[in-house]
């Protein structure tokens, strides 16, 4: 075996010190809120497989028989696309377009993502509304943590937003911003528009027509019956009573 001379031993020692310094430097990251930031599932959590895009029978020529198993929805950290569970909601995510208080497109896709347990409650509420000839229209549901920061930075009045330091129940997939539509898809009259950050949005605001109060209370009563709670400042916002059981997440819409 070839022996190292004194010079090469010094070189080996120097290389070791340099690698250790690089490791220490690269391994350092500043302290942050404990948010799971990637679309990749944490250890122990598995992605279910993405369903094939399009209808196999028309696009690939492969016939789908009634025996084909239903396509599995993608579930990541409990989050799922609502449409995969129930297709009867009206989805109009305001932050997926420019028609919102920032004037900017905050979300990359108009995909309604929600925690699966919150979805189960929401579907029960929607079924109650359907008995009355209405359906839920969704303005917002899961909101990635990075989007919360953008909204926070854009908002002049912070009264109507959860601070990124605390995080929002939307970041847990466990809050929804909703209204009701009738069988023609027409929104029921409410005391204010969505994200109208004035006292008209408050749940106790009464200086408006009785019909608007009646619609606001109908929405709230059925949501409360199915395991949601309200906040005082926004009639459209409902939080799953179990929201704090779920983590703050920053998974992008493209992952679903």
Q: Which residues are annotated as a binding site for Zn(2+)?
A: 170, 177, 237
Crossing angle of helices 116-131 and 210-225, rounded to 10°: 130
How far apart, in whole angstroms, are the C-alpha atoms of residue 244 and residue 76? 17
- Please report, in angstroms and rounded to a whole number, the separation of the first and last CA atoms in the chain: 57
Chosen from ligand LVM2DEV6, Zn ion, none, partner binding at 81 (C-beta under 5 to 8 Å by type): none
Using rule CB under 6 A, residue 161 touches ligand LVM2DEV6? yes
The verdict on whether 234 is a catalytic residue reads: yes
Of 135, 160, 220, 242, the residue at the interface with ligand LVM2DEV6 (CB under 6 A) is 160
Using rule CB under 5 A, residue 172 touches Zn ion? no
Stretch binding Zn ion (CB under 5 A), from 44-52, 78-86, 91-99, 231-239: 231-239
Residue nearest to Zn ion (CB): 237
Of 167, 237, 249, 256, the residue at the interface with Zn ion (CB under 5 A) is 237
Of 177, 195, 240, 250, the residue at the interface with Zn ion (CB under 5 A) is 177
143: Cβ–Cβ under 8 A, 6 or more apart, which residues? 95, 107, 151, 168, 170, 171
Considering beta carbons, is residue 31 or 165 the nearer one to ligand LVM2DEV6?
165
Using rule CB under 5 A, residue 94 touches Zn ion? no
Contact between 249 and 173 under an 8 Å Cβ cutoff? The reply is: yes
How far apart, in whole angstroms, are the C-alpha atoms of residue 149 and residue 167? 9
Contact between 239 and 228 under an 8 Å Cβ cutoff? The reply is: yes
Of 77, 118, 126, 168, the residue at the interface with ligand LVM2DEV6 (CB under 6 A) is 168
């Amino acid at each position: 075996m070839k022996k190292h001379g004194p010079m090469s031993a010094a070189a080996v020692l120097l290389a070791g010190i340099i690698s250790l310094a690089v490791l220490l430097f690269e391994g350092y990251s500043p302290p942050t809120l404990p948010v799971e930031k990637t679309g990749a599932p944490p250890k122990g959590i598995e992605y279910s497989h993405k369903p094939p895009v399009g209808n196999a029978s028309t696009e690939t020529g492969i016939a789908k028989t009634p025996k084909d198993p239903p396509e599995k929805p993608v579930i990541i950290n409990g989050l799922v696309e609502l449409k995969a569970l129930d297709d009867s909601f009206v989805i109009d995510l305001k932050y997926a377009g420019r028609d919102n208080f920032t004037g900017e497109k905050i979300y990359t896709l108009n995909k309604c993502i929600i925690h699966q347990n919150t979805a189960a409650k929401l579907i029960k509420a929607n079924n109650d509304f359907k008995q009355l000839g209405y359906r839920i229209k969704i303005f917002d549901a899961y909101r990635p943590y990075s989007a919360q920061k953008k909204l926070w930075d854009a908002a002049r009045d912070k009264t109507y937003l959860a601070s990124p330091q605390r995080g929002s129940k939307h970041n847990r997939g466990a809050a929804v911003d909703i209204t009701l539509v009738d069988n023609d898809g027409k929104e029921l009259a409410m005391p204010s528009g969505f994200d109208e950050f004035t006292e008209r949005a408050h749940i106790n605001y009464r200086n408006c027509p009785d019909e608007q109060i009646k619609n606001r209370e109908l929405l709230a009563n059925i949501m409360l019956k199915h395991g949601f709670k309200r906040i005082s400042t926004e009639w459209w916002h409902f939080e799953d009573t179990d929201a704090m059981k779920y983590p703050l997440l920053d998974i992008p819409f493209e992952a679903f």
